[in-house]
Structure 1
Amino acid sequence: MNKYQSKFIANKIEDINQILNNDAVEETELYRFLHTVKGTAGTIGLSEWSEVAEKLESKVNKDSTETWDKSKTKNLLLPFIILSTTYDSFKKEDFLDDSHQLARNQEGLVLIIDDDTTLLTYLKDTLERENIMTVIATDLGVNIIENFYNWLPECVILDINMPVQDGFDILSKIQEPCSIHHIPIIMMSSFTDRETRLKSYTLADDFIQKPITDQEEFIIRVKKHIQRRRNLLDMTLIDQLTGVFNLRYLHNELARQLHELRRSNEPFTLALINLDQFRNFNQQRGYHIGDELLKAFSTYLKNSIRPTDHLSRSHSDEFILLLSKTKKAEGKTLLERLLSRFRDTSRETWGTEITFSAKIAQVDDSLLSIEHCLSSLAFNDVEKKGNTGQIYEARFGDSNMRKLHIGIIDDDSLVRELLTEQLSDIGGEEMPVEIRSYENGQQFFNDPWHNQQPFYFLIVDRVMPKMDGLAVLHHIRQNYDRRKYRVMMLTSRGAEGDIALALQKGADDYMTKPFSMKELHARVRRLIRGLV
């Protein structure tokens, strides 16, 4: 038995004793106890405890205002008392089987949009058994378009017949970016008339009939679309939206420049250029207008540099400028000139002043790796919160790495400890991680830290006393800049209603307890992509 299993059982024995010391217990408190046992026990490999909790959960009403007397409570909890006397029989092998979960090298990322939460969770489980990470959204979910841009999936599966937004209406909003990024779209419908099918094939890439009766065919079709996209991207060195070079080209050119540096001993300069307040621009003007700004900005930069220089788009609104045989002082002068001119012309073109910030470094050591060159350009937390229109200087070897801020909100101390340990190295060598944990949402919001950092990744349990997961989501979306927070909700197995509510209130993803650590790592890595 490992330390988490031992600690869990000891904690639950103590909890049961405390409950039974009371003459009366609120039924909602019993529900929270069973809910916690079901999720945590399954996650750490105590499957028998999880199964017992799931059976007993059906005997209590989570919305009840009733109280239970000591005798009735003891009868309910008796199976746990019996289990606690035999816990030495549990072995390490009892851990949740990870063999079917997401591998490190995933087969793709799929976004599914449908109003049927049961079908969504079924398709998600089906694809993830094939190592295809899947995110889901309902037609009632907030900011489907924003989430699409955040995820930029490798395939979109979209239901046609939904009560709030018709699938073809959603398609019209994502069709252009899908075309630019070569993202295939598969339409789904239970209506298979000729008109629906032809419209789907005309506007999208494929059509699948509901109900989906052949899982194997469904998986093969999705994998084929993803593989075709990957094959196409492998053949291009150009960013599809802006027409400048992409990261693949940049890596090749950096390798060539480092080789040339060894031969000539002439330094070159790198600059990371980031459009200021671009997220706000997207929110106010719309993402299609944001795409037009990116294209105009990249054209402006490309027309302002020498033929021997190289401009690449690295991520969203970030560009890398490589100035060959150029010292940092010369590069900084160029950036200052570009910034001044762009600030002036933007007022005329866009009706508002638009600026960019940059970080510049001179490369004069040919032994530096490509990864080191690029990671040293990243804005740190202070720079990201600083004034707009700034040009910062970087030196290779500086420790100004961006930090990932993770908040874990769960009333189970064991879950908090387990997640803190498992996620402590999620940023790798490139991104240090700060993790804080809280027993409930109220405790999180009482800590000034919750709004002091540029961005947060939150893992929030659905069921908690004082302030539960949905209340946390609602409070963030109503009172804060929700773009600062990326939220993963933890829910119970079979709680499709909770999943639907979480997605509607703005959760970015969810995981069902019990979950595997491998899947947790895979999903968190995807969610934090581009967050910092």
Structure 2
Amino acid sequence: MTDRKQRDAMEKHRSNEQLMKEGKKRFLEELHKQIHTMEQLLHRMEEDYEERLPAHFYRYAHTLKGSAPIFGFARVGAVAGVLADEWEWALENTAGCPARQSLQNSKANLQQLMMEAAIIERELQLNEKREQGGRTTGLTGKLLVIDDDDVLRSFLVRRLELDGYIVHEAASVESAQQRLREELYDLILLDLMMHPQSGYELFDYLREDPTLKWIPLIVLSARSGVQDKVRCLTLGANDYVVKPFDYEELAARIFSLLSRVKNFEQLAFRDPLTGVFNRRYFDQQIEQELLRVSRYPAPISIAFLDIDRFKLINDTYGHAIGDLVLQGLAYLLQQQLRTSDFLARFGGEEFVVVMPNTAGDQARSLMETVLQLTHRQPVAQYEGQSYSVTFSCGVAEWSPDTTTEEWVALADEAMYRAKQQGRDRVLLAGGSANAAMRPAPDPSLRRKRVLVADDDGILRSILASRLKKLAYEVTEAGNGEEAYQYLTENDVDLCILDGVMPKMSGFDLLKKMKSAPDGRFRHTRVLMLSGKKRDEDIAAALQLGADEYMSKPFSLVELDMRVSQLLEDAT
């Protein structure tokens, strides 16, 4: 009987889902018709005003306001509600009606309704593809949309995300510059006329920074004059699109531009065997990284590694197996490196890793981790046989009084010393062999211990993985009680603490830490992460003992810097 009830409930649920899906399709069809009719009504009122037309327009808006949320389209309902409020005066049929003002106010909202309809249509198409098992993504890339028009910017972000892109947004030149300092983008969409700074002011910023000037740029502008087009294209824009534009045309331009850039990159900057960057890319990018460091000071290190006895592999098993080994090691390295690092094949069996925001000791630790993995797992397999290798590696941290050539030579020399000392080790320029070849470390010099306490499992996992790669010992907790229990039983150097968690909030946990006897947590630094952005919440966290406070969402680059600073202060 219970099974039958469950089957009936599941069948009813499926039936309701099907009815809702059909209802959404029907609603979208009617929405397009209603928007078209409302557009015609506005046009007629502008051309030949009739007293009955405003009431007709109001009824369409009022109907949408009530029906859209039923099908889950709250944004459509909200915009329709604004339009209904704008024309509500038409029901009173009073003299001195504000028709002209209402006409002007309604044009932008009607345009927003059209955008929302386009979003809904794309969402329904993607859902249908998923149900049929079809692919829903095409070319990917990370885009930055810069526009001070909140409505258009929001539409572009949501619509481009539906097309499979990662999309960030900025409402001003200043916030765009901040984004560009923190992230690497594949393409920029830039509004020309913004306040208080125009898009033109970003051209100089992009052109003067070697790390940014090659990013493809599409200008979006209401100005259709030849003079603006010529000026933007001369300043470095790759394309110029006049507002209002058709989204499908813009999407095609983005796809075409990204495809050309990626094809060019593949041919010019990628090693055809391993797929990682080549020597040409390294030579270009290393100079750009150092220019970035000169502007925004931070540590940066490189690692040179050479596969041990690679010639013997080629001579014994043949060059085909040697190629598989190169591909396998390149893949292993890419899996272990952070998104901010980049890997290049320097030549033959040599690879080089560039690690921004990384001190020499941290870089050495990261490469030692990779080396230990080669001890535990093969890098290639062929016809049932496994092939394992080790490598010798030299690491060097850059210092301001060192030229690029000297810096590279330091890492190269450390790598050759590693070869001479027996291979299968990592040496820091000016230092000794890796931990596996050294005496056991002094317990007082243990790795810094970090506790990540957050009920968001995905975010917690991302933070833990990132910090482990920085050579910290990391423990995770999914709620406040679990975090407090761990803190009482272990010495923790840094607690990254979510403000809102089940069982015990981050704020309550701070209170318990502050009131603990004998000041037992006085050496534990606390970095509070919270979606609360009010000044009083920040002040409360700091008063309770938090050392730093970051509001969600936050930059992972900035988080790395704050964690490093807090742990340095704790030494």
What TM-score bracket applies, with the shorter chain setting the length? 0.3 to 0.5
Query: TM (normalized to structure 1)?
Result: 0.44
Query: TM (normalized to structure 2)?
Result: 0.41
Q: Which has the larger Rg?
A: 2
Task: Determine which structure has greater relative contact order: mean sequence separation of CA pairs < 8 Å that are 6+ residues apart, divided by chain length.
Answer: 1
Higher helix residue share? 2
